[in-house]
Structure 1
Amino acid sequence: MTIFAAAIAVFCLQACHSNKDSKATADSTNKANDVTSKPANDIATATGMTTDSQDAKFAVEAANGGMAEVMLSRLAQDKGSGKVKDFGAMMVMDHRKANNELMTLAKGKNITLPSVVGADEQKYFNDLSKKSGEDFDKAYIQLMIDDHKNDIKVFDDASKNLKDPDLKAFADKTLPTLKMHLSSIVKIDSALKK
């Protein structure tokens, strides 16, 4: 009997200390709260999201990416040199603005957004924070190029496929800024390679 009790205690401790990714938690919550898939007579009494879980998934991904951009770019402001530092400042300003707009939209639609960056983004931060000088600049630049190429694809798809008009408008409005960021960081990369 004591072995069984010990096994239960270990299981409970592991369950309590599991570190589920904030992004995955938000996606799961939104899927459970998706009232758009419920029968029409249930929607009137439901207190869930006012958009479907696929649109909410975009909001979660955009919020996670936006928080990561701010976090990584603050690091660039501290550790970057010259144009990298300036780019980091622009990124913090632009992504904070977009993040605030998205948070307001999500709140109005009862969409749960992640409270902290996902595990992958935290790993990027941890790895980048160990670098300095030219190594930091190169790693940050490559991360921003790769990330913005992905972001542009996600926002372009969202612009074409989202059902929620407010989230679609957010994607449409944000897409040119993301393209400008990519263009800027590619120019910085080219200048540093000369």
Structure 2
Amino acid sequence: MKKIVYVGALVGTLCWATACENNSRSDDSVENAEEMNEQAMDMGESEDEDMAEFMVEAANGGLMEVELGRIAAEKATNPQVKEFGQMMVDNHSKANDKLKTLASQKGITLPTSVGEEHQKEINRLTELSGEEFDREYVKLMVKDHKADIDEFQEATDEVEDPDVKAFASQTLPTLQRHLQRAEQIEDSIENQS
């Protein structure tokens, strides 16, 4: 009988300790991925910090593009914006899948959901409707794709791993087309006002 009580107490203590540890972790998937990658580098499992940072940021941005694209495809009133949103879902889902495969091969942990900053943008846009949503979504896509292009260009120049470098350079033309299309839609919306 004493053994059962001791085992029960031990199991209860372990469950409590695990729950406390989980509560102390950040809910931000991006931060969690960054922490896991830092630990892997400290243990010698991964060597290229620039590569890990790039992959985490690319995944975070890709997740936001897909989520906002879904919202735009459903919520936008302008047919061009709806079409652009669907293109974001299609293209960034493919890129995200390639990135996941690559990260798995390289031992890099990627976020499974958008980080806090991107979630704030998603929440902000979700509250908008009509022409205001269309305008703000396209404005964000222009800004975000400019940043993405800079990030991917930097990766092609600075990341040492040839596979990750190839992913960045092969994805760049798609991001440039997205930016060009977003700017065209932005101009079209401004001319309608």
TM range (shorter): 0.7 to 0.9
Match of 2:187 in 1: 190
TM-score, normalised via structure 1 length: 0.84
Please tell me whether residue 21 in structure 1 is matched to residue 28 in structure 2.
Answer: yes
Please tell me whether residue 66 in structure 1 is matched to residue 62 in structure 2.
Answer: yes
The structure carrying a bigger helix percent of its residues is 2
Match of 2:133 in 1: 136
Identity of aligned residues (%): 44
Alignment of 1:78-157 (within 5 A): 78-81=74-77, 82-157=79-154
Asked if the contact 2:63–2:114 (Cα under 8 Å) also holds between the matched residues in 1, the reply is yes
Q: Root-mean-square deviation (CA), in Å? A: 2.0
Structure 2 gap ranges (5+)? 1-18
Q: Deviations over 1:84-112 (max 9, x none)?
A: 00000111100000000000000011100
Task: Letter of the 1:27 partner, please give it.
Answer: E
Match of 2:15 in 1: none
Segments of 4+ moved more than 6 angstroms: 12-15
* 1:15–1:33 Cα change, 3 Å: closer
Structure 1 gap ranges (5+)? 1-11, 39-47
Match of 2:159 in 1: 162
| 1:19, distance to aligned residue in structure 2 (A) | 3.6
**In 1, Cα distance between the equivalents of 2:119 and 2:111?**
13
**In 2, Cα distance between the equivalents of 1:13 and 1:102?**
32
Please tell me whether residue 177 in structure 1 is matched to residue 188 in structure 2.
Answer: no
**SS of equivalent residue, structure 2 residue 72:** helix
Task: Letter of the 2:40 partner, please give it.
Answer: N
**In 2, Cα distance between the equivalents of 1:13 and 1:159?**
41
Please tell me whether residue 75 in structure 1 is matched to residue 82 in structure 2.
Answer: no
Asked if the contact 2:26–2:32 (Cα under 8 Å) also holds between the matched residues in 1, the reply is no
Alignment of 1:1-12 (within 5 A): none
Among 27, 40, 56, which residue is 1:33 paired with?
A: 40
* 1:32–1:18 Cα change, 3 Å: closer
| 1:17, distance to aligned residue in structure 2 (A) | 6.0
**SS of equivalent residue, structure 1 residue 28:** helix
